[in-house]
Structure 1
Amino acid sequence: MPFSSFFRTALVLGLLSAIGPFAIDMYLPALPAIGTALQADVGAVQWSLTAFFLALGVGQLAYGPVSDRVGRRAPLLFGLGLFIAASIGCAVATDVRLLVALRFVQGLGAAAGTVIPRAVVRDLHTGTEAARLMSLLMLVFSVSPLLAPLVGSGVIALAGWRGVFWAVALAALAGIALVRRALPETLPAAQRSSGQGSLGRALRAYGVLLRDRHYLGLVAIGGCCMAGFFVYLAGSPFVLIDHYGLSPVLYSLAFSVNSAAFFVSAQFTARLGRRFGLAQVVRVAVTGAGAVMVLLLAYFASGGERLAVLLVLYFCASALMGLVIPTTTVLALEAHGAIAGTASALMGTLQMLIGTGAMAVAGHFASGRPLPMVVGMAAGALTGVALTWLTLGPRGMARAAQAAR
């Protein structure tokens, strides 16, 4: 594929993937204001975030097999339409329970933009070329955590928190135009699974994946990275704004800088993978991130309180995790090209459930102070280290090779 076409594909897929996260990241600076406006406590407002993540995970289970059967474009267009309708509902909601329900529906729509672009990458490439395309996709995708909190702060200042939902509805409408004009179908009709007995076929495909220990290990490694990030995502608005006194704009800048570390480092995955091997990249990056999080936990457990330490050390951990997510994604999908949509869906669902579960558990211990949040982040990182050496250590790689044969 020529570079211009390669980059154009990454641009389209990255922008489509960013629409759902944009609805999260623009929303973060508004959490305290939503609680005040709807007379809801912190826990109730956080449920509007949790509901979105749950739907984002569960919805992928449907989109993956459907996209393997009917192609990639149609379910993507459906999901974007559902996202728009739910976003408009959120914009006019007057009760926190209704907002939570509509956020769930919004997450179901956003799931299409999460699972299908990964399947498109597998349709087009494998190996280091897939890692290269996935990294470029993530570079484009990075506009969400880098710009969305800042854009959200600006929208909130001009139009209040409801303006955030009108803005993401317009973004999804632009996404529909992008799909129709710039994303050709990547799964030819001859390669699609038959519609006859589609439910049974989907269940069999999921059965194949759930018996693949190597696939599940790689999915869980990525899920542990996401778990630490989800804990930070849910806790950081209250820790940084309420505890440390940052304004919504300064919070958005701090969030964006840490996100930049993740997405910039992701651009080195293909180059490092060609030189050292993708599995070695994952081993080193996960171990390094775990070591950094141990340092961060030790600092706050010993009574430290400096915000700079939190931001600098998490910046380092984010950079290392940026080498993990695209690499584990490529490795997990490598052997499942015939059911790439289903494999991508199960991956997204399991990782989203791992992250959401971690966020829910951490929420029970949240106090608005840094230590409980850091404990949750470190727990995710250290679990990822253990899973990496079980999955990609000598014994794990030998089992995977034997299963492949």
Structure 2
Amino acid sequence: MPLTRYLKMALILGLISAIGPFAIDMYLPALPDIGQSLGAEVGQVQLTLTVFFLALGSGQLLYGPVSDMVGRKPPLYFGLGLFALASIGCAVTTDVQTLIALRFMQGLGAAAGMVIPRAVVRDMHTGTEAARMMALLMLVFSVSPILAPLAGSGVIALTGWRGVFWCVALAAAAGLLLINRALKETRGPEQRVASSLGSALSAYGVLLRDRHFLGLVGISASVMAGFFVFLAGSPFVFINHYGVTPVQYSLAFSLNAISFIGASQLTAPLGKRFGLVPLVKFAASAAGVFMVSLLLFYLLGGDSMVVLMALYFVASGFMGLVIPTASVLALDRHGPIAGTASALMGTLQMMGGAAAMGIVSLFANGKPMPMVAGMAAGALTGVALTWLTFGGAQTPGAKPVRTV
């Protein structure tokens, strides 16, 4: 595929994928304000993030098989429509309990935009070519954590936190138009013939018995869990503990996203030179080293925003190598059920992140230590799973497993 077509498809898929995360990153600077406005405690406000991720994960279990059965585009229409309606509800709610419920519905809608673009990539490519497309997709997708907090800060300053939800509702409407005008169907009728509810359940059974697939998903899920802990805790740590402004927090948050984006663009060339498996081994281990160093700094009595930002900046770069590469390897042998495989992968990733946020929120006190401990635990779990998965497992590129 010519480079221009790579870029066009990556732009389309990346923008669709970014709509849901935009609803997370854009309102992060407003979390303290939401708590004050609705009279909610820190744990309740963090729950609006947790339920979003729970819905984002569980919803993918439905969208993936449905996209295998009816094509990639119809579930995208439904999901983004639901997301838009729930966003409007969030914008007008007056209590935190209703906000939590609507955030769950919003996550269910956003799940379509998370799972289906990955399946589209697998419909079109495998191996290093898929890694190249996935990296380009993540380049667009990762613009969200750079621009969204800054945009959110501006919107909040002008309209208050409710304006954030009106903005993401408009983004969903734009996404629907983009799907209609620019996205071609990659799952033709002839490929859908063998797909049904029974085949979906059978496919999930195949995937759950595939230890190599589960190991790869576990690697990316563990690394992402540490990031989700950072998402939930960093607004309170940076704004309340370290005393930065929402705009300064947005800039600090964006630095980590820049590191992640820059590194992710190296996955294809590094994968071709060294191999995708060695790349995951090295990057996951390096991320673990830097996260343990950060944890030791705080355990020994340190308390510095500069150290926190510096060490996590480097760790984020290595995470940018791990997540897209592990995702490509996980889908590589499951092309006939790419939507279902992508769904299970996304679900386990989101559930792991939501569980990590929920556990850490029990100890949240607005200080760095609970957050840093959760981030380090995720990274170390990723390291352990990396070496368990590749210690003697069958290497990717072997004969695809039987799927149905």
Identify whether the pair has TM-score above 0.5, normalized to the shorter chain.
yes
Check whether the contact 1:13–1:117 (CA below 8 A) recurs between aligned residues. yes
2:63 aligns with: 63
1:74-113 equivalences under 5 Å are 74-113=74-113
Query: Residue in 1 aligned with 2:294?
Result: 296
Rate the CA distance shift 1:123–1:168 in 2: closer, same or farther, 3 A: same
Q: Does 1:119 align with 2:116?
A: no
In structure 2, the partner of 1:163 is 163
- Shift of residue 230, structure 1, vs aligned partner: 0.6
Aligned residue in 2 for 1:253: 251
Match of 2:394 in 1: 397
How far does the alpha carbon of each residue in 1:319-361 deviate from its partner, in whole angstroms, 9 at most, with x for none?
0000011101100000000000000000000010011101111
Q: Per the alignment, do residues 339 and 398 of structure 1 end up closer, same or farther by CA in structure 2, a change over 3 Å counting?
A: closer
Change (3 A) 1:399 1:79: closer
Task: Specify every segment of 5 or more residues in structure 1 that has no aligned partner in the other structure, as ranges.
Answer: none
CA distance in 2, matches of 1:396, 1:293: 27
- Report deviation, 1:306: 1.2
Query: How big is the shift at 1:396?
Result: 2.2
Structure 1: distance between partners of 2:265 and 2:335: 23
- What letter corresponds to residue 288 of structure 1 in structure 2? A
Alpha-carbon separation, structure 1, partners of 2:25 and 2:347: 20
The residue aligned with 2:227 is: 229
Measure, in 2, the Cα distance between the counterparts of 1:253 and 1:246.
Answer: 10
Contact 2:38 2:94 in 1 (8 A): yes
Q: Which residue matches 2:192? A: 192
Matched with 1:337 is: 335
TM-score of the pair, normalised by structure 2: 0.98
Name 1:23's counterpart in structure 2.
23
Letter in 2 for 1:128: T
The yes-or-no answer on 1:14 pairing with 2:14 is yes
Aligned with residue 370 of structure 1, among 368, 371, 376: 368
Q: Deviations over 1:108-142 (max 9, x none)?
A: 00000000000000000001010000000000111
Deviates more, 1:8-17 or 1:37-46: 37-46
Listed as ranges, the matches of 1:139-158 within 5 Å are: 139-158=139-158
Cα distance in 2, alignment partners of residues 300 and 81 from structure 1? 44
Superposition deviation, residue 404 in structure 1: 5.1
Q: Which structure 2 residues correspond to residues 169-184 of structure 1 after superposition, within 5 A?
A: 169-184=169-184
- Aligned partners of 2:396 and 2:262: how far apart in 1? 33
SS at match of 2:321: coil
Preserved CA contact (<8 Å) 1:25 1:148:
yes
Aligned counterparts of 2:142 and 2:399: Cα–Cα separation in 1? 37
Q: 3-state SS of the aligned residue for 1:323? A: helix
Q: Any gaps of 5 or more consecutive residues in structure 2?
A: none
Aligned position for 1:268: 266
In structure 2, C-alpha distance between the alignment counterparts of 1:22 and 1:249, rounded to whole Å = 16
Percentage identity across aligned positions?
68
- Alpha-carbon distance in 2 for matches of 1:302, 1:391: 33
Hey, what does 1:35 align to over in structure 2? 35
CA-CA distance at 1:362 after TM superposition: 0.7
Superposition RMSD in Å:
1.4
Q: 1:201 Cα shift?
A: 1.5
The aligned residue for residue 204 of structure 2 is 206
Contact 2:217–2:327 at 8 Å: present in 1 too? yes
CA distance in 1, matches of 2:291, 2:267: 21
* 1:130-189 CA distance string (max 9 Å, x none): 000000000011111000000000000011100000000000100011001110001111
What code does the residue aligned with 2:293 have? L
What's the secondary structure of 1:308's corresponding residue?
Answer: helix
**Contact 1:391–1:397 at 8 Å: present in 2 too?**
no
Q: Secondary structure at the match of 2:366?
A: coil
SS at match of 1:387: helix
Going from structure 1 to structure 2, the CA distance change for 1:40 and 1:226 (only over 3 Å counts) comes to: same
Residues in 2 aligned to 1:310 and 1:67: alpha-carbon distance in whole angstroms: 41
